[in-house]
Structure 1
């Protein structure tokens, strides 16, 4: 009888610990990339399931930009990036499960969009930002899209026509992080999203203060990336001014040297992490995610 009682007591203790762990699991917010949606079972749906499997009791919210999956996918091409960020900010503030803070994982363009959330929307607090293939200095090259997408073809035509034309800047998502190294002045003047969050025109001190509230800012680059041009944008680098061949690193950039976003200070404190995957854009295994992201930054 005593042995049975001791066993029951142990089970109660283990059960209590389990419940505490479940309750204390930091929620996770996911933002998908171009051409994807919140709930695709082969992409975000799979990531969501993996996180829920690996982290006991975790609440995972995969962002839907629109009222359904079709709108969500279309809005990744045709909705103003600033409007998307404003919409998500409202969604996060109204989600009671996030009020004590959350971790964020952005995939491809979702990476820079979630960084904009960290800078512009500090409530609820973002704890860790994981950017997987995000283009933090933008792109200068028209990406390919999965399948034969008519929207992709339309976007390509618009970007070829002129990324900094007002109508295109306001209505083509990819134009809003288009960064022309051959015409930096035009980029800084007319980019309505990227030039703003990268403090290219004027310094917004709240952007810097809010970003520095992160515990960790993790950037994942795909070393064999054929979609993002240049791929070093995934580590906050880019093409040198006037060149489409030579690149610079984050530490060589004005953003870092002048510490416009507080990244230099964050780096000195060990808050910046640069990881890489030996594969093409967003080709990432569950094992890699578990070992390098989930176990290190999300648990």
Structure 2
């Protein structure tokens, strides 16, 4: 009897070990003002994933060094960043058989763009944390009770955001989304309007590539003071032609007409949404382990 139990225990341990070793490599992309390897952010996440899963983790560095990576998060054209990251991934032999993809803050919409635009790669799960999928329309920590000042700042930013020079050289302008100037946004946005498939004719390949995902996971932060509106982290946004009332993803035309395949992902139970307490990117590692690593990365 003891020998039988020992054999069964050995089988269980071997299967557990195999399950962990079967975890896919991971690619991560940092947000604005961060870098690939900062000890307190992406460097920590990278080491944590490596330790928990015993997998290869590639933290994307956009540029020849960390300093360039930092500056490029503000001033490098988003489309050029996607091309750069795509080449990094294609030239990494450890990723050739597929990987999971995680994006933090603005890195969230960037990793989604990678899935949609980068050919000949295999992404299993796409996971974003505090991403601005429908863009932003407000300043961090803008005093919300002073509506007059906030609206003035928004109008000034909107005026500047869609000028050619600003669009080409300021990253955050490239996902600035004015709900009261929808036509100008769709016409002049060099990045967000394209990856959200808001122009005609729609790019069917964007939809096809997102539908290849095993899961598309979005994590939003309930008390976020950086992203405005917060609901953009779950692909919702303001109702058109005003900037007060927001709507969830499922009420947007992007969803109902399924420009990106999000409706199909949702109906097949592959679109996952989480809202966690805390400010921007403030999550506990216990939650990260139980809800992200254990459910999507093992």
Q: What is the CA–CA distance in structure 2 between the aligned matches of 1:95 and 1:15, rounded to whole Å? A: 32
Structure 2 distance, partners of 1:215, 1:188, is: 30
Structure 2 Cα separation of the partners of residues 223 and 18 of structure 1 = 35
Provide, for residues 71-129 of structure 1, a one-character-per-residue CA deviation record: whole Å limited to 9, x for no partner: 10100000000000000111111111111110011000000000000111142211100
Q: Give the conservation status (yes or no) of the 8 Å contact 2:226–2:280.
A: yes
Residue number in structure 2 paired with 1:36: 34
Q: Please give the TM-score of this superposition, normalised by the length of structure 2.
A: 0.89
Matched, 1:257 2:256: yes
Give structure 1 regions of 4+ aligned residues with deviation exceeding 2 angstroms: 9-25, 158-161
Q: Which runs of 5+ in 2 are unaligned?
A: 142-153
CA RMSD of aligned residues (A): 2.4
Partner Cα separation in structure 1 for residue 102 and residue 207 of structure 2: 20
How far off its partner does 1:18 sit? Answer: 7.5
Aligned counterparts, 1:15-34, within 5 A = 20-21=18-19, 23-34=21-32
- Residue in 2 that maps onto 1:270: 269
Residue 101 in structure 1 maps to residue 98 in structure 2: yes
Matches within 5 A, 1:30-109: 30-55=28-53, 57-109=54-106
Structure 1, unaligned runs of 5 or more = 145-155
SS at match of 1:289: helix
> 105-114 vs 19-28, which deviates more?
19-28
Counterpart position of 1:142: 139
* Matched ranges for 1:107-186 at <5 A: 107-143=104-140, 159=157, 162-186=160-184
CA contact (8 A) 1:240 1:246 kept: yes
Show the counterpart of 1:151: none
Aligned residue in 1 for 2:149:
none
Structure 2 CA distance for partners of 1:137 and 1:297, relative to 1, 3 Å: same
Following the alignment from structure 1 to structure 2, what is the Cα–Cα distance between the partners of residues 78 and 142? 18
Would you say 1:247 and 2:246 are equivalent positions?
yes
Is 1:290 the counterpart of 2:285? The answer is no
Question: C-alpha distance in 1, partners of 2:214/2:207?
Answer: 14
Q: 1:227 to 1:269 in 2, by over 3 A?
A: same
CA contact (8 A) 1:50 1:286 kept: no
SS in 2 for 1:103: strand
Tell me the CA shift for residue 20 of structure 1.
4.5
**Structure 1 CA distance, aligned partners of 2:92 and 2:32?**
24
1:174-253 to 2 correspondence within 5 Å?
Answer: 174-202=172-200, 203-253=202-252
SS in structure 2 at match of 1:274: strand
Does structure 1 retain, via aligned residues, the 8 Å contact 2:158–2:176? no
Shift of 1:11: 11
